[in-house]
Structure 1
Amino acid sequence: MEKNSNPAALTPQGVDQEAFDRVWRRVMPDQAQSPIAIGRAEVDEIAPAETAPQDQCEAAPVPAEPPVQPAASPTPPPPSRSKAEEEPPFCLGSQSQGEEQTLTSLMDLAKEGVFIAQALVRRGGSCSRSLSCLAADHRRALRQLSAAYFLITGQRYRPPTPSVVINASLPLALRDQFVWEQRWERANQQAAETTSDACLKELYQELAQDGVLHAATIRSLLEQMG
């Protein structure tokens, strides 16, 4: 189809030519594809469509508000501590005076245990090895109690030599020692419950546990004899 080179020929009657040309250029900006050819001079005169400046089309960035810092909570005061918590537990010092009677009573009992165990060892036969371990434990307990007494009082205590009589029958002698070990365990456990000295409490509990183990050993020996 042949292009019409005169757009004025398409202009309706009574329409302003200049307004028509302006509208025509807006709807057909590509004159090369237009069915109506406009001269090069006319094309050059076509002004690019006015565009709004970019800074007017785009909204101005809103400055970011600084983050709201949470209000710092006041530092809570340190929990109040009682006087007992502030002071470390005392151990084998002058504050433990008053434990002398308990210590001397246990030392007397420990020395009695040593003499009984030694007598059982001499009569023990095949049980001698196990019974010698009991004797060694009671000697150690006597040394520990003696050292604790000295640290508290500054003096040495020498338990009197006990008068030991054991049954001629080894099973009966072991039965008596089984009862004795239970008495030893209870005496130390009661001492641990009443003392305020942290070191003495630990020592008493250890010796009480020895009594439990010794009783179990004697029971095992009697079971082997049966």
Structure 2
Amino acid sequence: MEQEHLSSQCDQETFERVWRRVMPESRPDCPIVLPAEPAASPAVREAPPALPAVAASDPPGRPVAGEEHNVPCLGAASAIYGGQLQQFVDRTLADWRSYQALSRRAQGNSGRILSAIAADQRRHAKRLSTAYFLISGVRYWPAERPAGPASRTPFAAALRERFMAEQRSAAAYQAAAAETADPCLRQLYEELSGEADAHAWLLRGILEEL
């Protein structure tokens, strides 16, 4: 029960963060009312963590043998998740392009929301690509693809497709989080799952206003 409560609280915090980013100002026609953000407390400067001792014979700046595999967070031992990360990057960039195209077809506030979701997707791809680099030491960022022909799918139908796609993405991230032994990857996947859920809610809101 406690774990479910913490998960629910995390989902709510993620939703509020995404909503404030997409809808920074209150609107009288919007039923969502978020609690006021708490005042920022003065930053507390913490002492940096102590670094492990390095033997005099070790080359400066280079890890000793096996050191990368001993790192539990985004270390070489997490290379088994490399293919999965590449797939997530590819899928997220495809979503980014889809939302860009949709935003150009939208009008008024709907276009602004879709543009914000597109920016979220590109940011998600950057986070996933960074995780891949930290694990492998190799940059993975597919080359930009030329824009394809304009979609002939009706606008409402295209929004419905994206609504279902966001739910599938949320489920895929949750499944990946449950399977990984890397705590940093687990946290990343859980955060992206929560944001995908929030995007689905925003798409539903756009459809309700059509």
| Smaller-chain TM-score bracket | 0.5 to 0.7
Task: Give the aligned CA root-mean-square deviation in angstroms.
Answer: 1.9
Return closer, same or farther for 1:182/1:166 CA change in 2, 3 Å cut-off. farther
1:131 aligns with 2:114: yes
1:214 aligns with 2:199: yes
What is the TM-score of this pair, normalised by structure 2?
A: 0.62
| Structure 2 SS opposite 1:99 | helix
Q: Which residue of 1 aligns with 2:170?
A: 185
Distance 2:94 2:101 in 1: 11
Distance 1:163 1:99 in 2: 30
Deviations 1:30-85 (A, max 9, x none): xxxxxxxxxxxxxxxxxxxxxxxxxxxxxxxxxxxxxxxxxxxxxxxxxxxxxxxx
Per the TM alignment, residue 162 of structure 1 is displaced from its structure 2 partner at its CA by 8.5
The code of the aligned residue for 1:198 comes to: P
Distance 1:167 1:109 in 2: 21
Per the TM alignment, residue 197 of structure 1 is displaced from its structure 2 partner at its CA by 0.4
Gaps of 5+ in 1: 1-87
Per the TM alignment, residue 158 of structure 1 is displaced from its structure 2 partner at its CA by 2.3
The code of the aligned residue for 1:146 comes to: S
Q: Which residue of 1 aligns with 2:80?
A: 98
Runs (4+) off by over 4 Å: 162-165
- Give the 5 Å matches for 1:30-45: none
- Give the 5 Å matches for 1:5-20: none
Within the candidate set 162, 166, 169, 2:154 is matched to 169
Distance 1:112 1:200 in 2: 21
Q: Which residue of 2 aligns with 1:223?
A: 208
Q: Which residue of 2 aligns with 1:70?
A: none
Q: Which residue of 1 aligns with 2:102?
A: 120
Gaps of 5+ in 2: 1-69
Structure possessing the higher radius of gyration over alpha carbons: 1
Return closer, same or farther for 1:212/1:162 CA change in 2, 3 Å cut-off. farther
Relative contact order (C-alpha < 8 Å, sep 6+): which is higher? 2
Distance 1:163 1:129 in 2: 20
Return closer, same or farther for 1:162/1:150 CA change in 2, 3 Å cut-off. farther
- Give the 5 Å matches for 1:60-71: none
Q: Which residue of 2 aligns with 1:157?
A: 140
Q: CA contact under 8 A between 1:103 and 1:145: conserved in structure 2?
A: yes
Identity of aligned residues (%): 40
Q: CA contact under 8 A between 2:71 and 2:77: conserved in structure 1?
A: no
Q: CA contact under 8 A between 1:103 and 1:149: conserved in structure 2?
A: yes
Distance 2:146 2:182 in 1: 29
Q: CA contact under 8 A between 1:89 and 1:197: conserved in structure 2?
A: no
The code of the aligned residue for 2:140 comes to: Y
Return closer, same or farther for 1:162/1:105 CA change in 2, 3 Å cut-off. farther
